[in-house]
Structure formats: structure tokens, C-alpha cells
A = this chain, B = another copy of it.
Amino acid sequence: MSRKKADLIILNASEMLTLAGGEVPRREVAMSDLGVVSGGALAVKGSRIEAAGSSREILDSWHSKQAIDASGCVVMPGFVDPHTHPVFAGSRENEFEMRIRGKTYEEIAAAGGGILNSVARLRATPTEALYASARARLDLFLEYGTTTVEAKSGYGLSVDDEMRSLQVLKDLARSHPVEIAPTLLGAHKVPPEFAGRRKEYVSLVAGVMIPIAAKTNLAEYCDVFCERGAFTVSESRTILKAAKNAGLGIRIHADQFSASGGSKLAAELGAASADHLEAVSAAGIRMLAGSGAVAVLLPGSSFFLDQSRFAPARKLIEAGVPVALATDFNPGSSMTHSMQIILTLACLRLKMTPAEAITAATINAAAAIGRHDRIGSIEAGKKADIIILSVPNHRYIPYHFGGNHVRTVIKKGKVVIRR
């Protein structure tokens, strides 16, 4: 039998985690099924996976000039990070120290720090500098194995500054290996110049930002920070309905500090995801189950804010809500780019098993941003977004923490990181 020519084959993985088959997003028992192939291998042609199986099967059917021996390693889909805020200026390590000294995140925000601190800085920063800093952050994501991110605006809070932020993401999407699902988060916070005129700001987001972002294809999703101190359920509904009408997908920062009703709104409106959920109620969990929304959990944020309350991952999983994980990368409440430390936090604090956490960081995360047909698993026909980790098995990934297990990153069939 003549063998077919591939552009790249990867062989001899200790464990290849395919995440293949079954219902997507995965729920409950299926979250534990990583589709492990011992001695796994795959063949890539162009940007796509052509075949995946045992090393014997792949070598019987494929040949390639470029072959990577993954002996002693885990081969898996690149991490998908479905909740990040990578477009900001400066950093907020001073507020980090203020929190250690006893101030709460909400007290710092009320005193003009927090999100509005980043807003003032972004507005004063030229677009080229925003682009350069966001690009450096994408480099870090990639180095730690993340091949696709959802990325939000939300530190501009004016039509110009929000569109500028989204344009930075669009330019990066064209020029950087990391794939981006861009989200308009004009409703991150009411900006200071609209103090006392909340209704007008909601109208600006719904009536101006959303139509522009949709028409110019600058955003694929619209998100709202539905929380006390940010936007009410009613305001969030107005904005997200406008987004739906404009053809954008929708997501919600829901029930982070209080059971504000964000998860119920997500279910009501058919959101792609309800994110955070640290304070979600039993009723909120019931509403989410079967709504089609993916619960995107952000343990990095609970950790970084040193909250005792983490999202009730086990209750969500048991209720049949599909669960994904994300970094929530942002300068105020979760300053990490690493999905690997998020997996550790998910295991330790959310009591997710390593297998559940990996499912949540790949195929379920892809589903949370509507890309499960293209990425998030190792299956013929999918994009070849693959990472090779220097670990003996998948449990080792969250177990040995605080470092970077990534040896090789492949995005759309190209080797983009070799360490």
C-alpha cells in the first residue's frame, strides 16, 4: 500500500489526548473522557489534521519529511482560552499591594482604581503602543500553549477607544499565530464622564458601539459585566438584545460577586457563555443547564482576589452544565496568561479532575466561542492546533505547577514555538 504524503507527522506520544467524538460541549461523565491514545500519532497536511491514531497506523499510511518524536510527552489540542482582556495599557501592581494591605477590589475600584484606572491609561496611550503591548501578551499566551483566545475590549469605554481596542485585536489576528475571537465589552463599567447619566451610556453602547462593531466586523461577540457597581440585569438585557439584533453572539460576566441574575439572563437570551459564576444560585444553575450556554469558570480571578468563594464547578457539572476554563487575563483581577496554572487552580480549588480540567480548557472552551467544529480536538479535518508537553501523562500537567510544560506549539500546521 502506498503511503500518503503529509507535511508533518507527530509520533510516539506517551499519551495523545484526542478529545474526539461525542457530544460537544461535553457534560458530566463525558468530561472525563480525553480519548487517550497511548503511543499516539497524527498526520498534518497544510493547516489541517489529516489523520490521528496509533503510531503504527499513522506510519502505515503516511510519510513526511518533517516528523516530531513525542516520546515521553503528552500531545494534545492547543489550549483555548475563552475569556481574556489583553488590550490594556500599563499594569496595576500597586493595587495588588493595596489588596495585600487589606483593601478590597471593590474599595479600590470605588476610589478610582480598578477598571477605570486602566481606562484612563488606555485612553492616553497611542494605538501603536497598545498594539505592541497586546502583541507581547499574545507571545506569552502562545509560549504557554494557548493557540486561540477570546479577547475583549472594555478599557476604552468611548466609541473611539473601544473601536481602537477592537482594531488592535483585528490587526493582531491577521499578523499573530494566536487566533482571536474578538468581543466588544463596551459595557465593562460606566465611564466617569457618564456619571449620573447611566441610561445615556447604555444607549451609546447599544445604539452606537454595537452597530459599528457589527457592521465593520470588528467584533464577533458582545459581553456585559452584569454585577453590582457595573450594569444591572435590565441594562444588560437592553445591551445584549441590541447585540443579538446586530448579529453578534453574546456572553455575560455573571454572578461574580453576587447572585445578580446574570446566569438567568444568559439562559433567557441564549448566550454562548455565562462567565465567572462564583456566586451563582441553585436556580441560576438550573436555568443554565439545557440553555446551551457554556459556563466559563475563572479560578485565576478568585485566586488573585484571594476570595474564599470559587465557582461551584462540581454542582455545575452534576447539573449537566458544560464547563470551560479561562485565565480571565487582565491587569486587575487575574494577571496570568497561563492556562497551565489555571488547570492547577481548577483541580485544587474547583475540585475538577485533571481530565475534566483539560476538557474544559480545550473542546469545551472551543464550544464557548463557537469554534468546536474547527478546533479543540485532534480529529481528521480539524485545524492542526497542537501542543506537545514534556510530561509523562495528562495528570502531570496540573500536578507539577508554576512552570511551563510546553515543548512545542503548532498552530494551523506550522511549528511556532520550540523550547
Contact = CB atoms under 8 A, between A and B. Distances in A.
B336 A403 contact: yes
B400 A336 contact: yes
A347 interface: yes
Interface footprint category on A: 35 or more
A341 B402 contact: yes
A358 B401 CA distance: 20
A175 interface: no
A229 interface: no
> Most chain-B Cβ atoms within 10 A of its Cβ — which of A335, A337, A393?
A335
Number of copies: 2
Interface string A331-351: 000011110111000011101
Contacts of A144: 402-403
A400 B97 contact: no
Interface stretch (A53-61, A88-96, A264-272): A88-96
Nearest to A144: B403
Contacts of A398: 96
B306 A352 contact: no
Contacts of A401: 304, 335-336, 341
B348 A399 contact: no
A354 B400 contact: no
Nearest to A396: B93
B96 A399 contact: yes
A399 B341 contact: no
A338 B395 CA distance: 19
Given A144-B403, A341-B401, A404-B403, A348 B395 contact: no
A348 B306 contact: yes
Interface in A384-406: 392-393, 395-396, 398-404
B400 A335 contact: yes
Contacts of A348: 100, 303-304, 306
Contacts of A403: 140, 144, 336-338, 404
**Which of A140, A335, A353, A399 is the most central at the interface, judged by chain B CB atoms within 10 Å of its CB?**
A399
B93 A395 contact: yes
Contacts of A91: 392, 396, 399-400
A395 B337 contact: no
A338 B402 contact: yes
Contacts of A303: 348
A353 B402 contact: no
Contacts of A352: 100
A65 interface: no
Given A306-B348, A348-B304, A340 B97 contact: no
A101 interface: yes
A369 to B, nearest CB: 22
A371 to B, nearest CB: 24
Nearest to A390: B136
B335 A395 contact: no
Given A100-B352, A342-B402, 9 more contacts: A92-B399, A96-B398, A100-B353, A100-B354, A304-B401, A308-B308, A335-B401, A402-B402, A404-B404
16 contacts: A91-B392, A91-B399, A92-B399, A93-B396, A96-B398, A100-B347, A100-B353, A101-B353, A304-B348, A306-B349, A336-B400, A336-B402, A337-B403, A341-B341, A402-B402, A403-B404
Interface of A: 91-94, 96-97, 100-101, 140, 144, 300, 303-304, 306, 308, 335-338, 340-342, 347-349, 351-354, 392-393, 395-396, 398-404
- The 7 A-B residue pairs with the shortest CB-CB distance in the complex, in nearest-first order: A341-B402, A338-B402, A93-B395, A336-B402, A93-B399, A96-B399, A335-B400
